[in-house]
Structure 1
Amino acid sequence: MSAHPAPPPEPPAQETVDLAHALFDLARAGRAEQLAAYVDAGAPVDLADPAGNTLLMLAAYHGHPDLVRELARRGADVDRLNDRGQSPLAGAVFKGEDEVVATLLDEGADPDAGVPSARQTAQMFGRSDLVPADPGPAGEPS
């Protein structure tokens, strides 16, 4: 018997695509209450656009610490990299979003995730104040 390849998956319905676009727009606009309600109703908290940018990544990059906090508390992966290997924390450092950086660190984001990492990005832009020093092997700053 020869195995038949599985048929390709059906494309999502247009209303599903439209809803996803609306959720990405809410993340960019920082509409925490509205977006949290969608997530609470079952929208995937780590929904990602075609470039791998999650709702949290978009909220972080556009400077919305309250939304970042709400998504993280609902289980969003604070270290999920987009398709370019960038973390939400590195994006917030790049944009100079001090409050978002502090929020992500409070929510457990790894300053060494991604390429370049948030720590490397902070050094490149002379903003080492945004990300704590890397502890050395004995737990002392290097």
Structure 2
Amino acid sequence: CCVYLLQKETPLANAVFWAARQGNLALLQLLLNSGRVDADCRDTYGTTALMVASYNGHYDCVKELIMQGADINYQRETGSTALFFAAQQGHHDVCKLLFEFGASTDCQTKDGGTALTVASQYGHSKVVDVLLKNGANVHDQLNDGATSLFLATQEGHVTIIRQLLSSGAKVNQRRHCPLWMAAQMGHSEVVKVLLLRGADRDADRQDGTTALFKAALKGYCSVVEELLKFSPSFGLLKNGSTVLHAAVMGGSLRTVQLLLEACADPMLRNRNNELPADLTKNERILRLLRPGICNGPS
């Protein structure tokens, strides 16, 4: 969020920040026209009045500060700019205004965040559209490798996911796999969109778990149904478990039924020839799986 802490020795700057926060254009103009306070006055964290006005979506105050010479691309201590704050809060009109006066999409926060990554994460599709039309890099990513697409996927923002994919975002990422995250969070519509755009149905994480495994473990039936339409693998995973194993452990009868119907010869035991520890806790699943158990490895 936009945090500002003004130094006590600058009462006029304090008044400028208050006017910018409240959207009081008349007061802001009075203070700036007095010649006794700079349009780029800053707090101890480097936050400017322009950032405050942008964060709060006060279009007229933003324009006044720009016309009075405020530095549009100035970065506060964290690396955030006025554009970043406007994008974070979904103020697409303010973003457009900032671009008219030279705002840059290249500025990054200390964690690698950009206006596009934060707008994607918070679900502001109109802002994403403005950013992409003004040169934002669809491949922007945080320092840990999370892309704008991955962040949008995590939160289930389908419209933004479509926007990013249409602009060239990579649907398959090894470290931060969008499909895996969508399955992990139970976003079935996102899973559908990603699969239709060519997502690798069997992509796994470093621990070897696939999207189908995570959906089965959490009992997300709608996600499992979408994945099964693309014939994902049922084989033994790197961690020694199977997808059916995960479904049983998750305790969802419907998920187990879906997997049994989709797989003619399901593997229930893991590489140690062990049955799921929680199997006996759910007698309905036990009865459902009994033929498979009897016919499984001995």
TM-score past 0.5 threshold: yes
Q: Which runs of 5+ in 1 are unaligned?
A: 1-11
Q: Is the partner of 1:69 in helix, strand or coil?
A: helix
Identify the structure with the greater helix proportion. Answer: 2
Residue 62 of structure 1, aligned match among 51, 56, 62: 56
1:122 and 1:30 map into 2 onto residues whose CA distance is 23
Within 5 Å, give how 1:6-45 maps onto structure 2. Answer: 16-42=9-35, 43-45=37-39
Moved more, 74-83 or 107-116: 107-116
Compared CA separation, residues 92 and 84, structure 1 to 2 (3 A): same
Aligned-pair CA distance for 1:74: 1.3
| Cα separation, partners in 2 of 1:46 and 1:77, compared to 1, 3 Å | same
Equivalent pairs counted in the alignment come to: 125
CA distance in 1, matches of 2:76, 2:88: 15
Note if contact 1:46-1:54 (Cα within 8 Å) is conserved in structure 2.
Answer: yes
Q: CA deviation at 1:135?
A: 7.4
Residue 28 of structure 1: CA displacement? 0.3
String of CA shifts for 1:51-109, please: whole Å, max 9, x gaps: 21101000000110111111111110011111111011011100111211111111211
The reply on whether 1:85 has 2:116 as its aligned counterpart is: no
Alpha-carbon distance between aligned partners in 2 of 1:135 and 1:46, rounded to the nearest angstrom: 25
CA contact (8 A) 2:62 2:94 kept: yes
Alignment TM-score, normalising by the size of structure 1: 0.77
- TM-score when scaled to structure 2? 0.39
Matched, 1:131 2:131: yes
SS of the residue aligned with 2:87?
helix
* RMSD after superposition: 2.2
Question: Quick check: 1:119 aligned with 2:116?
Answer: yes
Partners of 2:56 and 2:67 lie apart in 1 by 19
Whole-Å separation in 1 of the counterparts to 2:116 and 2:56: 19
1:71 pairs with one of 65, 72, 84: 65
Percent of pairs identical after alignment? 31
The one-letter code of the counterpart of 1:30 is: G
Q: Any gaps of 5 or more consecutive residues in structure 2?
A: 1-6, 138-166, 169-298
